[in-house]
Amino acid sequence: MSYQDVILNRQNGWVEITINRPDKLNSLREQTADEILAILNELEHDKGRTRGHFAWQRQGILHGDRYQRVRD
């Protein structure tokens, strides 16, 4: 699936979701939220990926916060 507001990168057990709207200071809109939710729903069923990273593009610099799935 292709996304307009986010970039999905999968590599070595990690998933990075980058909000890519630097011209709008990466503000969220309904479409951005829908794309993120679609990715998270897809990842929920992908048992091989347990670590991820949210990032956003801003003035040529990549910022981000890490998250990790908590297992029951």
pLDDT digits (tens, 9 = 90+) for 29-61: 999 999 999 988 888 887 765 677 777 665 544
pLDDT at 49: 58
Residue range 6-68, CATH number: 3.30.300
pLDDT confidence tier of residue 6, bands split at 50, 70 and 90:
very high
pLDDT at 71: 43
Q: Which distant-in-sequence residues (6+ apart) come within 8 Å of 9 by Cβ?
A: 15, 16, 18
% residues pLDDT > 90 (the chain): 21
